[in-house]
Structure 1
Amino acid sequence: MGFYINKTAVITGAGGVLCSAFTKSLSLAGCRVALLDLNETAVKEAAESIRKAGGEAIGIKADVLSRESLSAAHAIVNETFGKCDILINGAGGNNSKATTTKETYETGDIDDDQLLSFFNIDKAGFDFVFSLNMLGTLLPTQVFTADMLGRDDCCIINISSMNAFTPLTKIPAYSAAKAAVSNFTQWLAVHFAEQRIRVNAIAPGFFVTNQNRELLFNKHGEPTARTEKILAATPMKRFGEPEELLGTLMWLTNAKQSGFVTGTVIPVDGGFSAYSGV
Protein backbone atom coordinates (compact mmCIF):
# COMPACT_ATOMS: atom_id res chain seq x y z
CA MET A 1 0.00 0.00 0.00
CA GLY A 2 2.85 2.38 0.76
CA PHE A 3 3.68 2.96 -2.91
CA TYR A 4 0.29 4.55 -3.52
CA ILE A 5 0.32 7.00 -0.62
CA ASN A 6 0.44 10.58 -1.92
CA LYS A 7 -0.34 9.35 -5.43
CA THR A 8 -3.11 10.88 -7.52
CA ALA A 9 -4.84 8.70 -10.09
CA VAL A 10 -7.09 10.04 -12.85
CA ILE A 11 -9.48 7.54 -14.45
CA THR A 12 -11.53 8.35 -17.55
CA GLY A 13 -14.67 6.35 -18.23
CA ALA A 14 -14.92 5.95 -14.47
CA GLY A 15 -18.70 5.66 -14.55
CA GLY A 16 -18.49 2.28 -16.28
CA VAL A 17 -18.40 -1.20 -14.78
CA LEU A 18 -14.69 -1.91 -15.32
CA CYS A 19 -13.25 1.51 -14.56
CA SER A 20 -15.37 1.99 -11.45
CA ALA A 21 -13.74 -1.19 -10.15
CA PHE A 22 -10.34 0.32 -10.97
CA THR A 23 -11.09 3.42 -8.92
CA LYS A 24 -12.13 1.41 -5.87
CA SER A 25 -9.00 -0.75 -6.04
CA LEU A 26 -6.66 2.23 -6.36
CA SER A 27 -8.45 4.02 -3.53
CA LEU A 28 -8.15 1.03 -1.23
CA ALA A 29 -4.43 0.99 -2.00
CA GLY A 30 -4.10 4.59 -0.81
CA CYS A 31 -4.52 6.63 -4.01
CA ARG A 32 -6.42 9.84 -4.28
CA VAL A 33 -8.74 9.15 -7.20
CA ALA A 34 -10.33 11.54 -9.69
CA LEU A 35 -13.21 9.93 -11.56
CA LEU A 36 -13.91 11.45 -14.99
CA ASP A 37 -16.93 10.61 -17.13
CA LEU A 38 -19.53 12.29 -19.30
CA ASN A 39 -22.09 10.77 -16.92
CA GLU A 40 -21.73 13.23 -14.06
CA THR A 41 -24.27 11.48 -11.83
CA ALA A 42 -22.47 8.15 -12.07
CA VAL A 43 -19.03 9.48 -11.13
CA LYS A 44 -20.28 11.72 -8.34
CA GLU A 45 -22.16 8.81 -6.79
CA ALA A 46 -19.11 6.55 -7.18
CA ALA A 47 -16.83 9.16 -5.63
CA GLU A 48 -19.24 9.62 -2.72
CA SER A 49 -19.22 5.85 -2.14
CA ILE A 50 -15.41 5.87 -2.00
CA ARG A 51 -15.39 8.79 0.44
CA LYS A 52 -17.87 7.01 2.70
CA ALA A 53 -15.46 4.07 2.76
CA GLY A 54 -12.67 6.38 3.94
CA GLY A 55 -10.97 7.16 0.63
CA GLU A 56 -10.23 10.42 -1.14
CA ALA A 57 -12.19 10.83 -4.35
CA ILE A 58 -13.81 13.41 -6.59
CA GLY A 59 -16.21 12.90 -9.49
CA ILE A 60 -15.88 15.29 -12.42
CA LYS A 61 -17.98 15.56 -15.55
CA ALA A 62 -15.58 15.51 -18.50
CA ASP A 63 -15.74 14.87 -22.22
CA VAL A 64 -12.67 12.97 -23.45
CA LEU A 65 -13.23 14.40 -26.94
CA SER A 66 -12.98 18.00 -25.72
CA ARG A 67 -9.59 19.49 -24.86
CA GLU A 68 -11.39 22.36 -23.14
CA SER A 69 -13.43 20.02 -20.95
CA LEU A 70 -10.36 17.99 -20.04
CA SER A 71 -8.34 21.10 -19.20
CA ALA A 72 -11.11 22.22 -16.86
CA ALA A 73 -11.08 18.81 -15.18
CA HIS A 74 -7.28 18.96 -14.97
CA ALA A 75 -7.48 22.27 -13.11
CA ILE A 76 -9.92 20.78 -10.60
CA VAL A 77 -7.70 17.74 -10.04
CA ASN A 78 -4.60 19.88 -9.53
CA GLU A 79 -6.39 22.20 -7.14
CA THR A 80 -7.92 19.34 -5.13
CA PHE A 81 -5.28 16.61 -5.16
CA GLY A 82 -2.18 18.00 -6.88
CA LYS A 83 -0.44 16.63 -9.94
CA CYS A 84 -1.55 13.45 -11.68
CA ASP A 85 0.74 10.45 -11.09
CA ILE A 86 -1.35 7.70 -12.70
CA LEU A 87 -3.58 8.12 -15.75
CA ILE A 88 -5.97 5.37 -16.77
CA ASN A 89 -7.55 5.93 -20.17
CA GLY A 90 -10.69 3.86 -19.78
CA ALA A 91 -13.23 5.80 -21.82
CA GLY A 92 -14.36 4.00 -24.96
CA GLY A 93 -17.14 2.03 -26.58
CA ASN A 94 -18.96 1.08 -29.75
CA ASN A 95 -21.99 2.42 -31.63
CA SER A 96 -24.71 0.57 -33.53
CA LYS A 97 -24.22 2.85 -36.56
CA ALA A 98 -20.75 1.35 -37.01
CA THR A 99 -21.86 -2.26 -36.55
CA THR A 100 -22.73 -4.47 -39.50
CA THR A 101 -25.87 -6.60 -39.38
CA LYS A 102 -24.15 -9.75 -40.59
CA GLU A 103 -20.78 -11.24 -39.77
CA THR A 104 -19.87 -11.80 -43.43
CA TYR A 105 -21.03 -10.24 -46.67
CA GLU A 106 -23.53 -12.22 -48.72
CA THR A 107 -24.42 -11.61 -52.35
CA GLY A 108 -27.11 -8.95 -52.63
CA ASP A 109 -26.53 -7.36 -49.22
CA ILE A 110 -25.40 -4.15 -50.88
CA ASP A 111 -28.93 -3.64 -52.23
CA ASP A 112 -30.83 -4.55 -49.03
CA ASP A 113 -31.90 -1.38 -47.26
CA GLN A 114 -32.92 -3.40 -44.20
CA LEU A 115 -29.33 -4.38 -43.50
CA LEU A 116 -26.34 -2.41 -42.33
CA SER A 117 -23.67 -3.83 -44.59
CA PHE A 118 -20.07 -2.79 -45.00
CA PHE A 119 -21.12 -0.55 -47.87
CA ASN A 120 -23.50 1.63 -45.89
CA ILE A 121 -21.75 1.93 -42.54
CA ASP A 122 -22.46 5.45 -41.39
CA LYS A 123 -19.35 7.64 -41.60
CA ALA A 124 -20.45 9.70 -38.63
CA GLY A 125 -20.93 6.52 -36.60
CA PHE A 126 -17.51 5.21 -37.61
CA ASP A 127 -15.91 8.57 -36.84
CA PHE A 128 -17.56 8.65 -33.41
CA VAL A 129 -16.38 5.17 -32.41
CA PHE A 130 -12.86 5.72 -33.68
CA SER A 131 -12.64 9.13 -32.02
CA LEU A 132 -14.09 7.98 -28.69
CA ASN A 133 -11.55 5.19 -28.36
CA MET A 134 -8.46 6.67 -30.03
CA LEU A 135 -8.80 10.44 -29.61
CA GLY A 136 -10.39 9.73 -26.24
CA THR A 137 -7.03 8.25 -25.29
CA LEU A 138 -4.88 10.88 -27.01
CA LEU A 139 -6.49 14.01 -25.53
CA PRO A 140 -6.48 13.01 -21.84
CA THR A 141 -2.88 11.87 -22.26
CA GLN A 142 -1.89 15.25 -23.69
CA VAL A 143 -3.57 17.07 -20.81
CA PHE A 144 -2.56 14.97 -17.81
CA THR A 145 0.88 13.71 -18.86
CA ALA A 146 2.13 17.29 -18.57
CA ASP A 147 1.99 16.71 -14.80
CA MET A 148 4.32 13.71 -15.06
CA LEU A 149 7.26 15.13 -16.99
CA GLY A 150 10.55 14.52 -15.21
CA ARG A 151 8.92 12.96 -12.14
CA ASP A 152 9.47 9.46 -10.79
CA ASP A 153 6.92 6.65 -10.54
CA CYS A 154 4.39 8.06 -13.00
CA CYS A 155 2.56 5.90 -15.50
CA ILE A 156 -0.23 5.66 -18.06
CA ILE A 157 -2.49 2.66 -18.48
CA ASN A 158 -4.54 2.48 -21.67
CA ILE A 159 -7.47 0.11 -22.08
CA SER A 160 -7.19 -1.79 -25.33
CA SER A 161 -9.10 -4.96 -26.24
CA MET A 162 -8.65 -8.43 -27.62
CA ASN A 163 -10.12 -6.89 -30.79
CA ALA A 164 -6.77 -5.20 -31.23
CA PHE A 165 -5.09 -8.58 -31.80
CA THR A 166 -7.81 -10.26 -33.89
CA PRO A 167 -10.80 -8.17 -34.99
CA LEU A 168 -14.24 -9.45 -34.13
CA THR A 169 -16.89 -9.66 -36.81
CA LYS A 170 -19.49 -6.89 -37.16
CA ILE A 171 -17.55 -4.14 -35.32
CA PRO A 172 -14.86 -2.79 -37.68
CA ALA A 173 -14.62 0.71 -36.18
CA TYR A 174 -14.18 -0.52 -32.61
CA SER A 175 -11.64 -3.16 -33.63
CA ALA A 176 -9.62 -0.68 -35.69
CA ALA A 177 -9.70 1.90 -32.89
CA LYS A 178 -8.49 -0.54 -30.26
CA ALA A 179 -5.67 -1.66 -32.57
CA ALA A 180 -4.74 2.01 -32.79
CA VAL A 181 -4.78 2.29 -28.99
CA SER A 182 -2.35 -0.63 -28.70
CA ASN A 183 -0.01 0.87 -31.29
CA PHE A 184 -0.28 4.29 -29.62
CA THR A 185 0.63 2.69 -26.29
CA GLN A 186 3.91 1.49 -27.76
CA TRP A 187 4.58 4.86 -29.36
CA LEU A 188 4.00 6.70 -26.10
CA ALA A 189 6.21 4.27 -24.18
CA VAL A 190 9.16 5.11 -26.42
CA HIS A 191 8.38 8.83 -26.59
CA PHE A 192 8.29 9.28 -22.80
CA ALA A 193 10.85 6.68 -21.70
CA GLU A 194 13.53 9.28 -20.98
CA GLN A 195 11.00 11.20 -18.88
CA ARG A 196 10.60 8.07 -16.73
CA ILE A 197 6.91 7.75 -17.63
CA ARG A 198 5.90 4.14 -18.22
CA VAL A 199 3.05 3.43 -20.64
CA ASN A 200 1.28 0.08 -20.88
CA ALA A 201 -2.13 -1.26 -21.86
CA ILE A 202 -4.53 -3.90 -20.62
CA ALA A 203 -6.47 -5.82 -23.27
CA PRO A 204 -9.56 -7.33 -21.65
CA GLY A 205 -11.25 -10.30 -23.20
CA PHE A 206 -14.99 -10.61 -22.74
CA PHE A 207 -16.56 -8.94 -19.73
CA VAL A 208 -20.22 -8.09 -19.30
CA THR A 209 -20.70 -4.31 -19.12
CA ASN A 210 -23.59 -1.89 -19.42
CA GLN A 211 -22.64 -1.26 -23.04
CA ASN A 212 -22.64 -4.86 -24.28
CA ARG A 213 -25.19 -6.54 -21.99
CA GLU A 214 -28.02 -6.38 -24.57
CA LEU A 215 -25.77 -7.95 -27.22
CA LEU A 216 -24.82 -10.82 -24.92
CA PHE A 217 -28.18 -11.61 -23.32
CA ASN A 218 -31.77 -11.33 -24.53
CA LYS A 219 -34.56 -9.65 -22.54
CA HIS A 220 -35.12 -12.90 -20.63
CA GLY A 221 -31.49 -13.03 -19.51
CA GLU A 222 -30.66 -15.92 -21.81
CA PRO A 223 -27.36 -15.95 -23.73
CA THR A 224 -27.54 -14.83 -27.34
CA ALA A 225 -26.00 -16.73 -30.26
CA ARG A 226 -23.04 -14.32 -30.13
CA THR A 227 -22.48 -15.17 -26.48
CA GLU A 228 -22.44 -18.86 -27.32
CA LYS A 229 -19.77 -18.24 -29.97
CA ILE A 230 -17.71 -16.14 -27.57
CA LEU A 231 -17.77 -18.73 -24.81
CA ALA A 232 -17.01 -21.53 -27.27
CA ALA A 233 -13.84 -19.63 -28.23
CA THR A 234 -12.86 -18.91 -24.62
CA PRO A 235 -11.12 -21.92 -23.03
CA MET A 236 -12.33 -20.95 -19.54
CA LYS A 237 -15.92 -21.04 -20.90
CA ARG A 238 -17.11 -17.94 -19.05
CA PHE A 239 -16.99 -14.16 -19.03
CA GLY A 240 -14.43 -12.35 -16.92
CA GLU A 241 -15.29 -10.54 -13.70
CA PRO A 242 -14.15 -6.90 -13.25
CA GLU A 243 -12.11 -7.89 -10.19
CA GLU A 244 -10.02 -10.19 -12.37
CA LEU A 245 -8.47 -7.17 -14.09
CA LEU A 246 -7.31 -5.60 -10.84
CA GLY A 247 -4.17 -7.67 -10.31
CA THR A 248 -2.81 -6.62 -13.70
CA LEU A 249 -3.79 -3.00 -13.05
CA MET A 250 -2.14 -2.84 -9.64
CA TRP A 251 1.01 -4.54 -10.90
CA LEU A 252 1.39 -2.17 -13.84
CA THR A 253 0.84 0.95 -11.72
CA ASN A 254 3.38 -0.06 -9.09
CA ALA A 255 6.90 0.85 -10.22
CA LYS A 256 8.43 -1.22 -7.43
CA GLN A 257 6.98 -4.32 -9.08
CA SER A 258 6.91 -3.36 -12.77
CA GLY A 259 9.43 -0.54 -13.05
CA PHE A 260 11.09 -2.08 -16.12
CA VAL A 261 7.81 -2.80 -17.90
CA THR A 262 6.74 -0.34 -20.57
CA GLY A 263 5.22 -0.58 -24.05
CA THR A 264 3.32 -3.79 -23.32
CA VAL A 265 -0.27 -4.78 -24.10
CA ILE A 266 -1.34 -7.48 -21.67
CA PRO A 267 -4.30 -9.78 -22.45
CA VAL A 268 -6.66 -10.72 -19.63
CA ASP A 269 -8.94 -12.95 -21.62
CA GLY A 270 -9.56 -16.41 -20.19
CA GLY A 271 -7.33 -17.93 -22.85
CA PHE A 272 -9.22 -16.45 -25.84
CA SER A 273 -6.03 -15.34 -27.60
CA ALA A 274 -4.41 -18.75 -27.14
CA TYR A 275 -7.23 -20.80 -28.66
CA SER A 276 -7.13 -21.65 -32.36
CA GLY A 277 -10.62 -23.11 -32.44
CA VAL A 278 -9.44 -26.70 -32.83
Structure 2
Amino acid sequence: MEKKLTGSTVVVTGGTGVLGSCFCRALADNGAKVAILGRSLDKAENLATGINNAGGHAIGISVDVCDKAGLENAKEVILNAFGAIDILINGAGGNHPEGVTADEYFDSEKRNSGVKDFFELGLEGMDHVFRLNYMGTFLPVQVFAAEMIGRRGCSIINISSVSAFLPLTKVPAYSGAKAAISNLTQWLSVYFAKEGIRVNAIMPGFFLTDQNRSLLTEPDGSLTARGHKIIGQTPMGRFGDPEDLISTLLWLCDPASAFVTGTVIPVDGGFTAFNGV
Protein backbone atom coordinates (compact mmCIF):
# COMPACT_ATOMS: atom_id res chain seq x y z
CA MET A 1 0.00 0.00 0.00
CA GLU A 2 3.03 2.26 -0.30
CA LYS A 3 2.13 5.81 -1.38
CA LYS A 4 -1.58 4.91 -1.68
CA LEU A 5 -2.36 8.00 0.42
CA THR A 6 -0.64 10.48 -1.88
CA GLY A 7 -2.69 13.66 -2.03
CA SER A 8 -4.76 12.83 1.03
CA THR A 9 -4.89 15.15 4.02
CA VAL A 10 -4.89 13.36 7.37
CA VAL A 11 -5.55 14.96 10.76
CA VAL A 12 -4.06 13.12 13.74
CA THR A 13 -5.07 14.15 17.26
CA GLY A 14 -2.70 13.05 20.00
CA GLY A 15 -0.14 13.14 17.21
CA THR A 16 2.86 13.78 19.47
CA GLY A 17 2.39 10.71 21.68
CA VAL A 18 4.26 7.42 21.36
CA LEU A 19 1.58 5.84 19.17
CA GLY A 20 0.44 9.06 17.50
CA SER A 21 3.91 10.07 16.35
CA CYS A 22 4.39 6.62 14.84
CA PHE A 23 1.08 7.05 13.01
CA CYS A 24 2.14 10.43 11.66
CA ARG A 25 5.46 9.20 10.31
CA ALA A 26 3.86 6.16 8.67
CA LEU A 27 1.11 8.23 7.06
CA ALA A 28 3.66 10.69 5.69
CA ASP A 29 5.79 7.81 4.40
CA ASN A 30 2.71 6.65 2.50
CA GLY A 31 2.23 10.00 0.80
CA ALA A 32 -0.28 11.73 3.07
CA LYS A 33 -0.15 15.36 4.08
CA VAL A 34 -0.28 15.13 7.87
CA ALA A 35 -1.65 17.67 10.34
CA ILE A 36 -0.18 16.81 13.74
CA LEU A 37 -2.38 18.00 16.60
CA GLY A 38 -1.06 17.95 20.16
CA ARG A 39 -0.97 20.02 23.32
CA SER A 40 2.72 20.90 22.94
CA LEU A 41 3.47 23.13 19.97
CA ASP A 42 7.20 22.39 20.26
CA LYS A 43 6.64 18.62 20.07
CA ALA A 44 4.19 18.95 17.16
CA GLU A 45 6.47 21.26 15.19
CA ASN A 46 9.58 19.17 15.89
CA LEU A 47 7.81 16.05 14.62
CA ALA A 48 6.59 17.94 11.56
CA THR A 49 10.10 19.20 10.88
CA GLY A 50 11.48 15.67 11.03
CA ILE A 51 8.82 14.45 8.59
CA ASN A 52 9.41 17.35 6.21
CA ASN A 53 13.18 16.86 6.31
CA ALA A 54 12.59 13.22 5.33
CA GLY A 55 10.65 14.32 2.25
CA GLY A 56 7.14 14.24 3.67
CA HIS A 57 4.54 16.92 4.23
CA ALA A 58 3.41 17.83 7.74
CA ILE A 59 2.43 20.73 9.95
CA GLY A 60 2.29 20.86 13.75
CA ILE A 61 -0.56 22.57 15.58
CA SER A 62 -1.14 23.07 19.30
CA VAL A 63 -4.73 22.38 20.35
CA ASP A 64 -6.77 20.91 23.20
CA VAL A 65 -9.13 18.27 21.76
CA CYS A 66 -11.78 19.31 24.30
CA ASP A 67 -11.73 22.92 23.05
CA LYS A 68 -14.12 23.19 20.11
CA ALA A 69 -13.12 26.75 19.25
CA GLY A 70 -9.47 25.70 19.20
CA LEU A 71 -10.31 22.78 16.92
CA GLU A 72 -12.18 25.11 14.56
CA ASN A 73 -9.12 27.36 14.40
CA ALA A 74 -6.90 24.35 13.73
CA LYS A 75 -9.23 23.29 10.92
CA GLU A 76 -8.82 26.63 9.18
CA VAL A 77 -5.03 26.34 9.41
CA ILE A 78 -5.17 22.84 7.90
CA LEU A 79 -7.53 23.83 5.09
CA ASN A 80 -5.29 26.75 4.18
CA ALA A 81 -2.14 24.63 4.28
CA PHE A 82 -3.30 21.36 2.73
CA GLY A 83 -6.82 21.74 1.39
CA ALA A 84 -9.73 19.37 1.92
CA ILE A 85 -9.55 16.94 4.85
CA ASP A 86 -9.88 13.26 3.92
CA ILE A 87 -9.04 11.28 7.05
CA LEU A 88 -9.32 11.91 10.78
CA ILE A 89 -7.46 9.76 13.29
CA ASN A 90 -8.54 10.33 16.89
CA GLY A 91 -5.42 9.34 18.79
CA ALA A 92 -5.79 11.62 21.82
CA GLY A 93 -6.66 9.90 25.09
CA GLY A 94 -5.36 8.86 28.47
CA ASN A 95 -6.07 8.18 32.12
CA HIS A 96 -5.95 10.14 35.40
CA PRO A 97 -4.72 9.04 38.86
CA GLU A 98 -8.05 10.02 40.43
CA GLY A 99 -9.83 7.50 38.18
CA VAL A 100 -7.73 4.55 39.38
CA THR A 101 -8.27 2.30 42.42
CA ALA A 102 -5.31 1.13 44.49
CA ASP A 103 -6.34 -2.53 44.53
CA GLU A 104 -7.96 -4.94 42.13
CA TYR A 105 -10.55 -6.11 44.67
CA PHE A 106 -12.47 -4.29 47.37
CA ASP A 107 -11.13 -5.06 50.85
CA SER A 108 -13.42 -3.99 53.68
CA GLU A 109 -10.53 -4.16 56.15
CA LYS A 110 -8.82 -1.33 54.28
CA ARG A 111 -11.94 0.84 54.28
CA ASN A 112 -11.15 4.38 55.50
CA SER A 113 -7.46 3.49 55.79
CA GLY A 114 -6.33 5.96 53.15
CA VAL A 115 -6.12 3.30 50.43
CA LYS A 116 -8.07 4.59 47.44
CA ASP A 117 -10.97 2.26 46.74
CA PHE A 118 -14.00 2.70 44.49
CA PHE A 119 -15.72 4.93 47.04
CA GLU A 120 -12.75 7.29 47.13
CA LEU A 121 -12.57 7.94 43.39
CA GLY A 122 -12.80 11.66 42.70
CA LEU A 123 -15.33 13.21 40.37
CA GLU A 124 -12.64 15.48 38.93
CA GLY A 125 -10.53 12.52 37.81
CA MET A 126 -13.49 10.58 36.44
CA ASP A 127 -14.71 13.63 34.54
CA HIS A 128 -11.22 14.30 33.16
CA VAL A 129 -10.93 10.77 31.75
CA PHE A 130 -14.35 10.83 30.12
CA ARG A 131 -13.84 14.30 28.67
CA LEU A 132 -10.41 13.53 27.28
CA ASN A 133 -11.30 10.18 25.76
CA TYR A 134 -14.95 10.56 24.77
CA MET A 135 -15.43 14.29 24.21
CA GLY A 136 -11.86 14.41 22.88
CA THR A 137 -13.08 12.11 20.11
CA PHE A 138 -16.62 13.46 19.73
CA LEU A 139 -15.55 17.09 19.23
CA PRO A 140 -12.86 16.46 16.56
CA VAL A 141 -15.39 14.37 14.63
CA GLN A 142 -17.94 17.17 14.90
CA VAL A 143 -15.41 19.72 13.63
CA PHE A 144 -13.49 17.80 10.96
CA ALA A 145 -16.21 15.50 9.61
CA ALA A 146 -18.12 18.63 8.62
CA GLU A 147 -15.46 19.05 5.90
CA MET A 148 -16.03 15.47 4.66
CA ILE A 149 -19.76 15.83 3.93
CA GLY A 150 -20.45 15.51 0.22
CA ARG A 151 -17.06 13.97 -0.52
CA ARG A 152 -16.94 10.20 -0.94
CA GLY A 153 -14.10 8.04 0.33
CA CYS A 154 -13.39 9.83 3.59
CA SER A 155 -12.50 7.90 6.73
CA ILE A 156 -12.49 8.36 10.50
CA ILE A 157 -10.43 6.07 12.72
CA ASN A 158 -10.87 6.11 16.49
CA ILE A 159 -8.64 4.48 19.09
CA SER A 160 -10.43 2.17 21.51
CA SER A 161 -8.72 -0.28 23.90
CA VAL A 162 -8.91 -3.90 25.00
CA SER A 163 -10.23 -2.43 28.26
CA ALA A 164 -13.39 -1.54 26.35
CA PHE A 165 -13.97 -5.23 25.59
CA LEU A 166 -12.61 -6.74 28.80
CA PRO A 167 -12.74 -4.12 31.60
CA LEU A 168 -9.37 -3.98 33.31
CA THR A 169 -9.05 -3.93 37.08
CA LYS A 170 -8.17 -0.62 38.76
CA VAL A 171 -9.18 1.62 35.81
CA PRO A 172 -12.98 1.99 35.78
CA ALA A 173 -12.93 5.46 34.22
CA TYR A 174 -10.60 4.52 31.38
CA SER A 175 -12.37 1.22 30.68
CA GLY A 176 -15.76 2.92 30.61
CA ALA A 177 -14.57 5.78 28.42
CA LYS A 178 -13.00 3.44 25.89
CA ALA A 179 -16.16 1.32 25.82
CA ALA A 180 -17.97 4.53 24.94
CA ILE A 181 -15.51 5.09 22.07
CA SER A 182 -16.31 1.65 20.63
CA ASN A 183 -20.02 2.41 20.88
CA LEU A 184 -19.60 5.87 19.34
CA THR A 185 -17.62 4.35 16.48
CA GLN A 186 -20.51 2.05 15.58
CA TRP A 187 -23.07 4.84 15.96
CA LEU A 188 -21.10 7.20 13.72
CA SER A 189 -20.54 4.49 11.11
CA VAL A 190 -24.29 4.15 10.64
CA TYR A 191 -24.97 7.89 10.81
CA PHE A 192 -22.43 8.76 8.11
CA ALA A 193 -22.86 5.65 5.93
CA LYS A 194 -25.00 7.37 3.26
CA GLU A 195 -22.30 10.04 2.88
CA GLY A 196 -19.63 7.43 2.21
CA ILE A 197 -17.69 8.37 5.34
CA ARG A 198 -16.36 5.20 6.94
CA VAL A 199 -15.86 5.08 10.71
CA ASN A 200 -13.82 2.35 12.37
CA ALA A 201 -11.70 1.88 15.48
CA ILE A 202 -8.48 0.14 16.34
CA MET A 203 -8.46 -1.67 19.70
CA PRO A 204 -4.81 -1.81 20.84
CA GLY A 205 -3.69 -4.31 23.40
CA PHE A 206 -0.82 -3.37 25.69
CA PHE A 207 1.77 -0.98 24.31
CA LEU A 208 4.35 0.78 26.46
CA THR A 209 3.67 4.51 26.40
CA ASP A 210 4.70 7.47 28.54
CA GLN A 211 1.48 7.09 30.54
CA ASN A 212 1.71 3.42 31.49
CA ARG A 213 5.42 2.64 31.43
CA SER A 214 5.89 3.12 35.19
CA LEU A 215 2.87 0.89 35.90
CA LEU A 216 4.11 -1.99 33.76
CA THR A 217 7.89 -1.83 34.08
CA GLU A 218 10.43 -1.14 36.82
CA PRO A 219 13.13 1.53 36.38
CA ASP A 220 15.56 -1.20 35.27
CA GLY A 221 13.14 -2.32 32.54
CA SER A 222 11.95 -5.48 34.29
CA LEU A 223 8.22 -6.11 34.61
CA THR A 224 6.10 -5.01 37.55
CA ALA A 225 3.58 -7.47 39.01
CA ARG A 226 0.90 -5.97 36.76
CA GLY A 227 3.23 -6.19 33.78
CA HIS A 228 3.83 -9.88 34.46
CA LYS A 229 0.10 -10.49 34.71
CA ILE A 230 -0.52 -8.78 31.35
CA ILE A 231 2.22 -10.68 29.54
CA GLY A 232 0.90 -13.89 31.08
CA GLN A 233 -2.51 -13.14 29.53
CA THR A 234 -1.05 -12.24 26.12
CA PRO A 235 -0.50 -15.40 24.04
CA MET A 236 2.22 -13.76 21.94
CA GLY A 237 4.13 -13.05 25.16
CA ARG A 238 5.15 -9.44 24.66
CA PHE A 239 3.95 -5.85 24.63
CA GLY A 240 3.06 -4.38 21.28
CA ASP A 241 5.41 -2.13 19.35
CA PRO A 242 3.82 1.02 17.87
CA GLU A 243 4.71 -0.28 14.41
CA ASP A 244 2.43 -3.27 15.03
CA LEU A 245 -0.55 -0.93 14.57
CA ILE A 246 0.52 0.55 11.26
CA SER A 247 -0.68 -2.10 8.82
CA THR A 248 -4.19 -1.98 10.31
CA LEU A 249 -4.14 1.82 10.34
CA LEU A 250 -3.10 2.05 6.69
CA TRP A 251 -5.63 -0.58 5.63
CA LEU A 252 -8.45 1.38 7.28
CA CYS A 253 -7.24 4.56 5.56
CA ASP A 254 -6.90 2.90 2.17
CA PRO A 255 -9.66 2.38 -0.44
CA ALA A 256 -8.87 -1.33 -0.11
CA SER A 257 -11.17 -1.27 2.95
CA ALA A 258 -13.95 0.61 1.15
CA PHE A 259 -16.68 -1.76 2.42
CA VAL A 260 -15.41 -1.82 6.01
CA THR A 261 -17.20 0.41 8.49
CA GLY A 262 -18.40 0.10 12.08
CA THR A 263 -15.63 -2.30 13.07
CA VAL A 264 -13.48 -2.29 16.21
CA ILE A 265 -10.36 -4.25 15.32
CA PRO A 266 -8.16 -5.73 18.08
CA VAL A 267 -4.40 -5.56 17.64
CA ASP A 268 -3.49 -7.20 20.91
CA GLY A 269 -1.27 -10.26 20.51
CA GLY A 270 -4.25 -12.49 21.29
CA PHE A 271 -5.15 -10.86 24.64
CA THR A 272 -8.91 -10.72 23.99
CA ALA A 273 -8.94 -14.28 22.59
CA PHE A 274 -7.36 -15.86 25.70
CA ASN A 275 -9.56 -16.83 28.65
CA GLY A 276 -6.69 -17.67 30.99
CA VAL A 277 -6.91 -21.46 30.70
Q: TM-score range by the shorter chain?
A: over 0.9
Q: Where does residue 199 of structure 2 map in the other structure?
A: 199
Check the 8 A contact 1:110/1:119 in 2, yes or no: no
Give CA-to-partner distance per residue, 1:128-154, whole Å, 9 cap, x none: 011100000000000000110011210
Tell me the secondary structure at the aligned position of residue 111 of structure 1: coil
Check the 8 A contact 2:26/2:246 in 1, yes or no: yes
Paired amino acid for 2:127: D
Matched, 1:152 2:155: no
Of residues 153-162 and 212-221 in structure 1, the stretch that sits farther from structure 2 once superposed is 212-221
Structure-to-structure mapping, 1:77-116, within 5 angstroms: 77-113=78-114, 115-116=115-116
Structure 1's unaligned 5+ residue stretches are none
Matched, 1:208 2:208: yes
Q: Where does residue 187 of structure 1 map in the other structure?
A: 187
Structure-2 separation of matches of 1:60 and 1:116: 37
Structure-2 separation of matches of 1:176 and 1:109: 25
Give CA-to-partner distance per residue, 1:183-204, whole Å, 9 cap, x none: 0000000000000000000000
Per-residue deviation, 1:110: 2.9
Q: Where does residue 257 of structure 2 map in the other structure?
A: 258
Which portions of structure 1, spanning 4 or more consecutive aligned residues, are displaced by more than 4 angstroms? Answer: none
Paired amino acid for 1:225: A
Check the 8 A contact 2:235/2:270 in 1, yes or no: yes
Calculate the aligned-residue CA RMSD, in Å. Answer: 0.8
Structure 2's unaligned 5+ residue stretches are none
Paired amino acid for 2:218: N
Paired amino acid for 1:230: I
Q: Where does residue 43 of structure 2 map in the other structure?
A: 42
Structure-1 separation of matches of 2:83 and 2:148: 11
Matched, 1:22 2:23: yes
Tell me the secondary structure at the aligned position of residue 134 of structure 1: helix
Structure-2 separation of matches of 1:14 and 1:2: 20
Tell me the secondary structure at the aligned position of residue 79 of structure 1: helix
Paired amino acid for 2:263: T
Of residues 36-45 and 237-246 in structure 1, the stretch that sits farther from structure 2 once superposed is 36-45
Q: Where does residue 70 of structure 1 map in the other structure?
A: 71
Structure-2 separation of matches of 1:267 and 1:127: 26
Tell me the secondary structure at the aligned position of residue 210 of structure 1: coil
Per-residue deviation, 1:27: 0.5
Structure-1 separation of matches of 2:123 and 2:13: 25
Of residues 177-186 and 77-86 in structure 1, the stretch that sits farther from structure 2 once superposed is 77-86
Paired amino acid for 2:104: E
Per-residue deviation, 1:219: 2.1
Tell me the secondary structure at the aligned position of residue 35 of structure 1: strand
Per-residue deviation, 1:2: 5.1
Q: Where does residue 277 of structure 1 map in the other structure?
A: 276
Give CA-to-partner distance per residue, 1:42-90, whole Å, 9 cap, x none: 1111100000001110000010010011111111001100121000000
Q: Where does residue 166 of structure 1 map in the other structure?
A: 166
Paired amino acid for 1:241: D
Matched, 1:267 2:266: yes
Paired amino acid for 1:33: V
Structure-to-structure mapping, 1:205-244, within 5 angstroms: 205-244=205-244
Structure-2 separation of matches of 1:3 and 1:242: 21
TM-score by length of 1: 0.98
Per-residue deviation, 1:39: 1.8
Paired amino acid for 1:194: K
Structure-2 separation of matches of 1:104 and 1:40: 41
Check the 8 A contact 2:3/2:29 in 1, yes or no: no
Check the 8 A contact 1:85/1:148 in 2, yes or no: yes
